[in-house]
């Protein structure tokens, strides 16, 4: 572990569970030293290391030669393996079942972990995170097998009142083999591995490797650049046409975010959206997109609409919704030309807040589309509580058209839209055959590379000036 760069603590949010937000600050790009706070994760692990090392023969010998001064918890006098365990989606469970049930769940998980690890310390670091310290470290394969056993134990159902909870978790593993290695360095490495495990979608086990630090260093650099990029106007909307089927006539454009990075070139949302969410810049990004796209859309022909995406958290925040509407009114774009696209997760996140936001937007004339339909977990009964104007089916359903079962599923969605008097838009159309099949099934609108890739505001204006119809071979 001695090859870990000294500046590792500059990587922000190593211990912050994914999806939780913090308020931005002038120094938000730098992580404070973990040893600043009494009872911090580092301090708790140092205390556990000191206790275990003092009880070991090596620790006793060191204490004797040191005149009884004790063992320094900052340096490892014997090999150790640290596992950081983070419960996936714990906040959702805590909100659903209540804080008391959440505390009970933490106690149950702690008991399960200690039962498996026996004499190895299990430390509750706070919230939904535990540290498991293996001071008689097994082999690398054995450590990962042990981590898999922990995941299996965590996954056993837990009864919390009326709810049966099925948990998953992410685990980061780091090994310390040097007698001069600091506990802080061990914690950093395990935290980096945990961050990668959570980015992989949860329910994963990853061991630290130096390459992980390199990717987090790049992420930290992107975070710093993103703050400046928002101020410099580098975040811009690109527009993809949504056309009527089967005519191919352009009806609206969806605004898709792109970053014109001065050194890295054009970056898609997959490179920076999660960073914006983690550091609290996603609202600023939304406002920048809304300002520019509404100004661009104002100059299009009046019959051409604009679609803008909002995340579940944003649509459930009345302050964010109000600010978006202020931007729309200030731009001069008629609200009736705007459609806000939300996902099924918004229904799960907060049904009452989503209903209030949708009602506010529709009263102003804004349309609401349910994006990526068929990929989430919301029930139809909950979806029907929202006054929607359109359903958009995900590209994965479009790609399943060649399969008989997939075609039947798409037909069910089309019939559902018709029964609810909602037009259906299919995303990800890449071939003329897909367009013809969807038209035959009753799909109203299409979107995808067949009709056009996302284009800049200038190219979009030129497209509209030359022709308002896209020719497709049906």
269 and 170 housed in the same domain = no
Q: Checking DSSP bridges between strand 390-393 and strand 158-160, what pairing results, if any?
A: unpaired
- Residue 35: inside a domain, yes or no? yes
What range defines the domain where residue 125 resides?
6-218
Q: Checking DSSP bridges between strand 338-343 and strand 305-309, what pairing results, if any?
A: parallel
The pLDDT of 3-9, averaged and rounded, is 34
pLDDT classification of 177: cutoffs 50, 70, 90: low
| Of 328 and 72, more confident | 328
Q: What's the pLDDT at 314?
A: 95
The pLDDT of 160-168, averaged and rounded, is 83
The whole-chain average pLDDT of the chain stands at: 81
pLDDT classification of 41: cutoffs 50, 70, 90: low
Query: How far apart are alpha carbons 6 and 12 in whole angstroms?
Result: 14
| Of 5 and 98, more confident | 98
- Residue 450: inside a domain, yes or no? yes
Contacts of 330 (CB under 8 A, 6+ apart): none
Q: What's the pLDDT at 362?
A: 95
pLDDT at 422 over 50: yes
Domain boundary among 218, 248, 281: 218
Q: What's the pLDDT at 185?
A: 82
172 and 255 housed in the same domain = no
The pLDDT of 80-107, averaged and rounded, is 86
Domain of residue 175, CATH code: 3.30.70.270
189 and 251 housed in the same domain = no
Give how many domains the chain has, as a whole number: 2
Q: pLDDT tens across 296-348, in order?
A: 999 999 999 999 999 989 999 999 999 999 999 999 999 999 999 998 777 76
pLDDT at 214 over 80: no
Q: What's the pLDDT at 416?
A: 87
Query: How far apart are alpha carbons 311 and 283 in whole angstroms?
Result: 10
- Residue 237: inside a domain, yes or no? yes
| Of 21 and 427, more confident | 427
Domain boundary among 156, 184, 218: 218
Name residue, tokens 């591995």.
Answer: 193
268 and 195 housed in the same domain = no
176 and 251 housed in the same domain = no
Secondary structure class of 309 (helix, strand, coil): strand
Domain of residue 325, CATH code: 3.20.20.450
Q: pLDDT tens across 378-403, in order?
A: 556 666 778 899 999 988 889 889 88
- Residue 307: inside a domain, yes or no? yes
Portion of the chain with pLDDT greater than 90, in percent = 47
């Amino acid at each position: 572990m001695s090859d870990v760069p000294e500046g590792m603590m500059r990587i922000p949010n190593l211990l912050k569970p994914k999806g939780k937000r913090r308020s931005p600050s002038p120094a938000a790009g730098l992580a404070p030293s973990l040893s600043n706070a009494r009872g911090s994760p580092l301090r708790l692990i140092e205390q556990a290391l000191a206790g275990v090392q003092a009880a070991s023969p090596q620790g006793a010998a060191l204490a004797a030669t040191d005149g009884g001064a004790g063992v320094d918890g900052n340096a490892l006098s014997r090999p150790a393996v640290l596992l950081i365990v983070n419960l996936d989606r714990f906040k959702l469970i805590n909100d659903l079942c209540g804080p008391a049930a959440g505390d009970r769940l933490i106690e149950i998980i702690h008991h399960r972990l200690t039962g498996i690890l026996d004499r190895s310390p299990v430390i509750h670091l706070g919230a939904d995170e535990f540290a498991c310290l293996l001071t008689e470290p097994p082999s690398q394969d054995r450590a990962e097998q042990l981590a898999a056993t922990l995941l299996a134990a965590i996954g056993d159902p837990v009864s919390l009142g009326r709810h049966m909870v099925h948990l998953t978790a992410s685990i980061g593993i780091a090994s310390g083999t040097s007698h001069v290695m600091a506990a802080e360095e061990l914690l950093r490495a395990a935290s980096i591995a945990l961050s990668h495990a959570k980015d992989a979608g949860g329910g994963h086990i990853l061991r630290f490797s130096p390459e992980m630090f390199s990717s987090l260093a790049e992420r930290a650099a992107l975070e710093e650049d993103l703050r400046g990029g928002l101020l410099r106007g580098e975040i811009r909307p690109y527009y993809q046409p949504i056309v009527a089927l089967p005519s191919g006539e352009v009806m609206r454009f969806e605004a898709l975010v792109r970053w014109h990075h001065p050194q890295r070139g054009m970056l898609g949302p997959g490179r920076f959206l999660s960073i914006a969410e983690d550091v609290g810049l996603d609202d600023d990004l939304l406002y920048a997109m809304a300002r520019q796209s509404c100004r661009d859309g104002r100059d299009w022909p009046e019959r051409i609409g604009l679609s803008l995406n909002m995340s579940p958290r944003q649509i459930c925040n009345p302050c964010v919704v109000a600010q978006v509407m202020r931007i729309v009114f200030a731009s001069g774009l008629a609200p009736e030309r705007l459609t806000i696209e939300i996902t099924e997760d918004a229904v799960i996140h907060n049904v009452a807040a989503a209903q209030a936001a949708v009602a506010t937007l529709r009263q102003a004339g804004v349309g609401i589309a349910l994006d990526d339909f068929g990929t989430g977990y919301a029930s139809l009964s909950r979806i029907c509580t929202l006054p929607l104007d359109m359903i958009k089916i995900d590209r994965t359903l479009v790609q399943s058209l060649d399969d008989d079962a997939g075609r039947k599923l798409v037909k069910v969605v089309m019939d559902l839209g018709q029964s609810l008097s909602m037009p259906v838009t299919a995303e990800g159309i890449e071939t003329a055959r897909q367009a013809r099949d969807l038209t035959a099934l009753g799909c109203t609108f299409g979107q995808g590379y067949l009709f056009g890739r996302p284009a800049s505001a200038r190219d979009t204006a030129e497209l509209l000036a030359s022709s308002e119809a896209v020719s497709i071979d049906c």
